[in-house]
Amino acid sequence: HENFILPFSHDEVVHGKGAMIGKMPGDSWQKAANLRALYGYMYGHPGKKLIFMGCEFGQWYEWNHDSGLEWEHIDSPPHRGLRRLVSDLNALYKSEPALHERDYDPAGFQWIDCNDNENSVVSFLRRARDGRDFVVVVLNFTPVPRAGYVVGVPEPGLYKELLNTDAEAYGGSNTGNAGMVASEPLEAHGQPQRLCLTLPPLSCLMLKVERG
Do both 81 and 155 map to the same domain?
no
Q: Which of 42, 68, 95 is the last residue of a domain?
A: 95
Q: Which of 31, 64, 95 is the last residue of a domain?
A: 95
Count of domains in the chain? 2
**The CATH number of the domain where 196 resides is what?**
2.60.40.1180
Do both 48 and 23 map to the same domain?
yes
Q: What percent of the chain has pLDDT over 70?
A: 98
Running DSSP on this structure, what letter comes out for residue 47? Answer: S
Adjacent-strand bridge partners of 134: 127
Do both 191 and 125 map to the same domain?
yes
pLDDT higher than 90, residue 59: no
Do both 15 and 89 map to the same domain?
yes
pLDDT, mean of residues 108-119: 98
Q: What pLDDT score was predicted for residue 159?
A: 99
Do both 61 and 126 map to the same domain?
no
- 101 in any annotated domain: no
Do both 133 and 190 map to the same domain?
yes
Residue 62 contacts residue 88 (beta carbons within 8 Å): no
- Give SS3 for 181: strand
Residues in Cβ contact with 152 at an 8 Å cutoff, skipping those fewer than 6 apart: 112, 113, 187, 188, 189, 190, 191, 193, 194, 195
Do both 131 and 47 map to the same domain?
no
- 67 in any annotated domain: yes
174: left (phi over 0), alpha (psi -120 to 50) or beta: left
pTM across the whole model: 0.93
Do both 19 and 77 map to the same domain?
yes
Residue among 72, 110, 103, 87 nearest 189 (CA): 110
Length reported for the chain: 212
Among 11-15, 98-102, 142-146, the least confident range: 11-15
Residue 67 identity: S
pLDDT, mean of residues 154-173: 98
Find the helix or strand (DSSP H, E) in which 19 lies.
none
Do both 112 and 148 map to the same domain?
yes
Q: Which of 63, 95, 127 is the last residue of a domain?
A: 95
Domain containing 138 equals 106-209
Residues in Cβ contact with 207 at an 8 Å cutoff, skipping those fewer than 6 apart: 135, 136, 138, 159, 160, 161, 162, 181, 195
- 100 in any annotated domain: no
Do both 33 and 115 map to the same domain?
no
CA–CA distance, 156 with 87 (Å, rounded to integer): 31
pLDDT tens column, 131-144: 899 999 999 999 99
User: By CB neighbour count within 10 A (0-12 exposed, 13-18 middle, 19+ buried), where does 172 fall?
Assistant: buried
Quickly state the pLDDT bin for 75 (edges 50, 70, 90): confident
Per DSSP (E only), the strands in 17-174 are 48-51, 109-116, 121-127, 134-140, 146-153, 158-164
Q: What pLDDT score was predicted for residue 66?
A: 72
